[in-house]
Structure 1
Amino acid sequence: MDFLSQHIEALIFCAQKPIKLADIQSCLTEMFETEVPEKDIVKSLEGIMEKYNNDTFPFEVTKIGGGYQFLTKPAYQASIGILLKQQSKKRLSTSALETLSIIAYKQPVTKSEIEQIRGVNCDYSVQKLLEKELIEIKGKSDAVGRPLLYGSSERFMDYFGINDLKDLPSPRDFAPQENVNEVVEKENPTSDTE
């Protein structure tokens, strides 16, 4: 493995969130005091990804959240599942997930708009999502009182393993299920004359 690849690996390893190609290039350019071509970085990244694709490693470099990050491989899901179960107190509540879903699909959105959709106060959920850095303040609305506008953060994409908001399932993918009685009637039509 070449010298450049080792520096790139170190940057990916030390980054607390997926590191973007531009950030890798910026760090390397400052370190080497000359611009490192993007094509050289991409070539090194491909080599690194191929290296960790080998079965001897329990982790790999994955492109996620618009950047690169070390992640464990699916084969180690059981042991990681135990760890995650033990850390389950950090999971999102149903109300937080509902609030986050509304923000992700409607962004930028005000708290009052979220509350209109959910039908309940969402102060606590919004606060928790801000603390977990899954949402961020995107500005202020032009509406009366200039309420804050909320949107998803880069950490949101990392948390859910997507690269872009376009990767979210379409709302039409969540078609409501037919009423059970309607299905039964379609399968067993009866006449009122019987």
Structure 2
Amino acid sequence: MAKQIVSGRLFFSDHHKAVLECLLFISPEPLNPETMMEVAGLNKEDLEVILAELDNECQSTARGIQLVKLAGGYQFMTKPEMAPYIEKLYKPHISLLSQAALETLSIIAYRQPVTRAEIEQIRGVKVEGVLTSLLDKKLLREVGRKEGPGRPILYGTTKEFLRYFGLNSLDDLPVIEGIKGK
């Protein structure tokens, strides 16, 4: 890899930085480090240095984008202060979740893997329709089957769930006293 030491700092060729910038720009979802290393021909250490440089450039200059670590990968996203201009251009159609969907997602996020019956026991109402809607939105997925009578389906959250709520991992969920996972 073409790199040189200048004033005690390691600099990479503009080409490598441009390749990563391009990949991050065109990707509709977060890129994991392994994919970036493979496509750009970089090792982990070099990738981390270039990502840090890109992040610093986005933060230190008057730019409308930021590099965000999201869902186990990296993605360019617009800065929050740019939202009014984007709304003027696109008038976005944001799919809002119902209260029932949010409650169901919360139970699954904190207690996964969990069965429909366990969710219904906690909520006190049937959730089949809500589960179907959340599965269609790709916020949930079937993660297996529970041992026991009927072998009920176990549900868990997806990477799309992490993206929707702006989380890097489930560890970023707020701690709620009295709520524990399994």
- What is the rounded CA distance, in whole Å, between the counterparts of 2:103 and 2:91 in structure 1? 21
Q: Which digits, 9 at most, give the CA deviation of each residue in 1:83-124, with x for residues without a partner? A: 897514x11111111110000011000011111111111111
- What is the rounded CA distance, in whole Å, between the counterparts of 1:44 and 1:55 in structure 2? 16
- What is the letter of the counterpart of residue 62 of structure 2? T
Aligned with residue 104 of structure 2, among 88, 91, 99: 99
Aligned partner of residue 137 in structure 1, secondary structure: strand
Aligned partner of residue 48 in structure 1, secondary structure: helix
Residue 65 (structure 1) aligns with? 71
Residue 14 of structure 1: how far off its partner (Å): 2.0
* Structure (1 or 2) with the greater helix fraction: 1
- What is the rounded CA distance, in whole Å, between the counterparts of 1:66 and 1:142 in structure 2? 30
Residue ranges of structure 2 left out of the alignment (5+ in a row): 1-12
- What is the rounded CA distance, in whole Å, between the counterparts of 2:136 and 2:60 in structure 1? 37
Q: Which digits, 9 at most, give the CA deviation of each residue in 1:45-78, with x for residues without a partner? A: 1111122224432111111222111111122233
| 1:155-194 mapped onto 2 (5 Å cutoff) | 155-172=160-177
Residue 2 (structure 1) aligns with? 14
Look at both structures and tell me which one has the larger radius of gyration over its CA atoms. Answer: 1
- What is the letter of the counterpart of residue 26 of structure 1? E
* Structure (1 or 2) with the greater strand fraction: 2
Confirm or deny that 1:12 pairs with 2:24: yes
Q: Which digits, 9 at most, give the CA deviation of each residue in 1:29-58, with x for residues without a partner? A: 4xxxxxx21111111111111222244321
- What is the rounded CA distance, in whole Å, between the counterparts of 1:171 and 1:163 in structure 2? 18
- What is the rounded CA distance, in whole Å, between the counterparts of 2:143 and 2:83 in structure 1? 35
* Greater mean alpha carbon deviation, residues 11-20 or residues 49-58: 49-58
Residue 83 (structure 2) aligns with? 77
Residue 38 (structure 2) aligns with? 26
TM-score for the superposition, normalised by structure 2: 0.83
CA root-mean-square deviation? 2.2
Confirm or deny that 1:48 pairs with 2:60: no
Percentage identity across aligned positions? 38
Residue ranges of structure 1 left out of the alignment (5+ in a row): 30-35, 175-194
Residue 149 (structure 2) aligns with? 144
Alignment size in residue pairs: 167
Confirm or deny that 1:37 pairs with 2:37: no
- The 3 A distance-change label for structure 1 pair 57 and 103 is same
Residue 26 of structure 1: how far off its partner (Å): 2.2
Residue 16 of structure 1: how far off its partner (Å): 1.9
Residue 164 of structure 1: how far off its partner (Å): 1.7
- What is the rounded CA distance, in whole Å, between the counterparts of 2:127 and 2:120 in structure 1? 6
- The 3 A distance-change label for structure 1 pair 155 and 47 is same
